[in-house]
Amino acid sequence: MSTNEELFARAQRVIPGGVNSPVRAFRAVGGTPRFVARAQGAYFWDAEGRRHIDYIGSWGPMILGHGHPAVLEAVQKAALDGFSFGAPTEREIELAEAIIAQVPSVEQVRLVSSGTEAGMSALRLARGATGRSKIVKFEGCYHGHADALLVKAGSGLATFGHPTSAGVPAEVVQHTLVLEYNNVAQLEAAFDANPREIACVMIEPIAGNMNFVRASVPFMKRLRELCTQHGTLLVFDEVMTGFRVALGSAQSVYAKLIPGFKPDMSVFGKVIGGGMPLAAFGATKDVMSQLAPLGPVYQAGTLSGNPVATACGLATLKEISKPGFFEALSKKTRSLVDGLLGAAKGAGVPMVGDSEGGMFGFFFASELPQNYGVVMATDKERFNRFFHGMLDRGVYLAPALYEAGFVSAAHSEADIAATVEAAAAALRA
Ligand X SMILES: *Cc1c(COP(=O)(O)O)cnc(C)c1O
Contacts with ligand X, residue ranges (CB under 6 A): 114-116, 119, 142-144, 204, 208-209, 237, 239-240, 269, 279
Q: Cα separation of 164 and 198, whole Å?
A: 21
**Would you give the distance in Å from CA 281 to the centre of its chain?**
14
Q: Cα separation of 144 and 126, whole Å?
A: 16
Q: Cα separation of 305 and 78, whole Å?
A: 13
| Shortest distance in whole angstroms from residue 305 CB to ligand X | 16
Q: Which is nearer to ligand X, 43 or 406 (CB)?
A: 406
Q: Which is nearer to ligand X, 138 or 387 (CB)?
A: 138
| Shortest distance in whole angstroms from residue 252 CB to ligand X | 17
Active site residue 270: yes
**Candidate list 142, 181, 372, 402, residue with the active-site label:** 142
**Candidate list 237, 264, 354, 415, residue with the active-site label:** 237
Question: How many separate helices (H) and strands (E) can be counted in the chain?
Answer: 13, 18
Q: Which is nearer to ligand X, 191 or 396 (CB)?
A: 396
**Candidate list 43, 54, 55, 270, residue with the active-site label:** 270
Q: Which is nearer to ligand X, 42 or 278 (CB)?
A: 278
| Shortest distance in whole angstroms from residue 121 CB to ligand X | 12
Q: Cα separation of 327 and 109, whole Å?
A: 27
| Shortest distance in whole angstroms from residue 138 CB to ligand X | 11
| Shortest distance in whole angstroms from residue 50 CB to ligand X | 27
Q: Cα separation of 94 and 72, whole Å?
A: 18
Active site residue 142: yes
Q: Which is nearer to ligand X, 202 or 226 (CB)?
A: 202
Residue 322: how many CB atoms within 10 A of its CB? 11
Specify the DSSP class assigned to residue 144: -
Exposure string over 7-24, b if 16+ CB within 10 A, otherwise e: bbeebeeeeeebbeeebb
Alpha helices in 42-151 (DSSP H): 69-80, 90-102, 115-130
Q: Cα separation of 262 and 248, whole Å?
A: 11
Catalytic residue ranges: 142, 237, 270
